[in-house]
Structure 1
């Protein structure tokens, strides 16, 4: 029933950052040739069908792809006729020459290659000639069938801290990008989205766009709402470290995944999103007032978190959830199966709200609790509070896995563990993930083990439950890829 497992370095819940369309750089043509063993001197590659050769050329770094034209007369037209993958990383200063800034080379390639562009990844541009050059690029990207676009501008440093997030020094993306009907994935960074609020409602801005992400960028709430309405195939929306619109209202008939990471908005409302499956929030609460989170039209919402009962004001339908809220059909979201909460167990404000939040999601099967530390924490273990909590349906009847992250070994945390032990009838796994500080001390680990073993001698509601104590995750960086991948059942683990 009880075991200690060190998984530090074995698995990572959040592998490194990810840009849409960001794939490992393909090997250079010279390295491939160098590694190819000598044979009988026969050029068998050139004998391959044209279609296959174009595919090979399109997967090479752009510099290497262009060089294939000198291999033989057979290869001369393939670079211009192959769908192009353009990454400015491949155009940076190299040992064999080139230019320190890739801007000039990018301009030539965009102008000379007829397209289509399978993927364009621009993250090292200086754009010394400013808006005119950027406007030319926008026109060419739209005209030549770009499918995936990653654009991170490098604007001048802001005069004052925070100016970049208010848009004072951010360049505006050229409006021509809005005419790029071929786009499937779009990732924008450190720029301002063009004004589209005045565009006709009937016209699709991005008719085939599947993923849209913004990093440290600016977009008005009217433009965001208009884009959602005019992108009929959009499935994933991610707003990352942004100057958030004050109100984010999700109205989309296609959206499946929404990520809001390290940004503060006054209100996030799921108004009409019939196919939304996951809503992931991380560090989204303000310092002075809670962010309003309204959930209304989301009948397929299955994954939700991380909610903070003190810093998020949860509203379901017309009901604002508070510590006295009782479960009723009007204030529950029965579709949610995976829920993540962040609690400070030593703070009464958090502990008092936690049961009400849990009652709103009666069908939860996997529950993640992040044990946070707060300067206001009283240090009380709240044992009496958890002993007197009325039954919570999801804990009593549905939860089969509970993960407690950042476990510090405080009495307030053990009070919650004891509550779970006595109430969760279908619990199969209780996973305790220690903090780095706790796991680094053999004495602390032994203390946690002893206290948990003492609990296992009590009468547990779930007789076959396994209690696992694991070490901290080695890599805690957030992963866009994992959070937005709907094939990953549990993005919090």
Structure 2
């Protein structure tokens, strides 16, 4: 559990502690002049100096303008990196209004672009902060923020809506939202650069997540942590590779169109023990999908009902892959928990029957197996009888007489 929790923390913005205070008369190493008195740092090219300045805590970066005329315009021309942690120094850490005013001045004074803005250390719940945040959201959108974290540093807020302008930040590459109600997506941009979307303690409307996935074609990683979610989650995204669902309940999780996510290998970090009913689509005649299927199923060790739609799109059915299914390792839920398996659009192809042999060999607690035939197969009494006969030949005496069912698809 500790390893899993540590992994979850990686999805949170890194919080940098405030810089240490020095006693009167103390000197830092940076303030110590070179032995020969030559200022070699100021001789560096502007591009390199801007990169150095942008990596400093924002307070120190802004102060470099006072060093010399050579440094005067560097902070304003360097991409901004702002963490409110760098502004929480005494007495500001005791006065949220002063910290908020400092954030507002930085966002207004810097012309952009904003490389990273993390507002995670003070509450945004008051009326005053709501007005501040509305203005900050406008500035973030206008000045091209790339990495944005907005976390209310208080108990979860139910009813405090995310400012609409946040969803106008089309330049976003990473977005972390904590303790917000997520409802309206009117006017939201297409996030062509968004790679990571992380949400903590949020209250989502049914359409919010669907909209974000549809508007983020390059999204690779999605995390939903301790959040109130829609009952049905439909994962779509050609680039989506990783999803973390932590202490957030949904009645149904459907991987609708996420080919890179479907190739996930089972591991302690990818197992989803809470799923009881799983539905998926697979072409039993295509080896790439057949090879992926056991690995994907191992991510769901506690399934009691499994639905599989036997697909033929993409490539025609051909090989039956009997050797693969004979040598495939057992899957945990087949041995211990699954009670019902339904195969939809069943055509009676040899590749489908090879999968049924695998089930017959390993499904120890199976109580019901239903084959939903295509209309074409069901319309022919001869074809339906042939499928039923072969099904009994695979496992009839072992499974019992009340287990099998053959029906027509809708």
| TM-score with structure 1 setting the length | 0.54
Distance 1:243 1:12, change over 3 A: closer
Measured in 1, the distance between the counterparts of 2:147 and 2:169 equals 11
Distance 1:194 1:117, change over 3 A: farther
Contact 1:260/1:281, CA 8 A, preserved across alignment: no
Contact 2:306/2:338, CA 8 A, preserved across alignment: no
Matched, 1:267 2:267: no
Measured in 2, the distance between the counterparts of 1:143 and 1:316 equals 47
Displacement after TM superposition at 1:119 (Å): 0.7
Distance 1:175 1:340, change over 3 A: farther
What secondary structure does 1:296 align onto? strand
Measured in 2, the distance between the counterparts of 1:39 and 1:304 equals 66
Contact 2:181/2:203, CA 8 A, preserved across alignment: yes
Displacement after TM superposition at 1:224 (Å): 1.0
Matched, 1:187 2:176: yes
1:104-123 aligned at under 5 Å gives the runs 104-123=101-120
- In the alignment, which residue of structure 1 is the partner of 2:143? 144
Displacement after TM superposition at 1:13 (Å): 7.0
Which segments of 5 or more consecutive residues in structure 2 lack a partner in the other structure? 22-26, 283-287, 312-319, 342-358, 364-410
Displacement after TM superposition at 1:316 (Å): 3.4
What secondary structure does 1:249 align onto? strand
**What is the CA RMSD across the aligned residues, in angstroms?**
4.1
Contact 2:160/2:181, CA 8 A, preserved across alignment: yes
1:68-103 per-position Cα deviation (integer Å, ceiling 9, x unaligned): 1111111111111110110111111248x7764221
Distance 1:67 1:174, change over 3 A: same
1:165-210 per-position Cα deviation (integer Å, ceiling 9, x unaligned): xx6x3421111111111100001111122412x66xxx85312111
1:39-54 aligned at under 5 Å gives the runs 39-54=35-50
Matched, 1:90 2:93: no
Contact 2:273/2:302, CA 8 A, preserved across alignment: no
1:369-411 per-position Cα deviation (integer Å, ceiling 9, x unaligned): xxxxxxxxxxxxxxxxxxxx97559xxxxxxxxxxxxxxxxxx
Distance 1:37 1:356, change over 3 A: farther
Matched length: 312
Displacement after TM superposition at 1:284 (Å): 6.8
Measured in 1, the distance between the counterparts of 2:179 and 2:50 equals 34
Measured in 2, the distance between the counterparts of 1:259 and 1:278 equals 12
Alignment partner for residue 18 of structure 1, among 10, 17, 20? 10
Higher helix share: 2
Displacement after TM superposition at 1:44 (Å): 0.5
| TM-score with structure 2 setting the length | 0.64
Which segments of 5 or more consecutive residues in structure 1 lack a partner in the other structure? 1-10, 158-163, 320-328, 344-349, 358-388, 394-493
Distance 1:125 1:245, change over 3 A: same
Distance 1:109 1:304, change over 3 A: farther
Measured in 1, the distance between the counterparts of 2:331 and 2:110 equals 48
1:63-212 aligned at under 5 Å gives the runs 63-94=59-90, 100-101=95-96, 102-127=99-124, 128=126, 129-155=128-154, 157=155, 164=156, 169-196=158-185, 204-212=189-197
Displacement after TM superposition at 1:130 (Å): 3.9
Contact 2:184/2:208, CA 8 A, preserved across alignment: yes
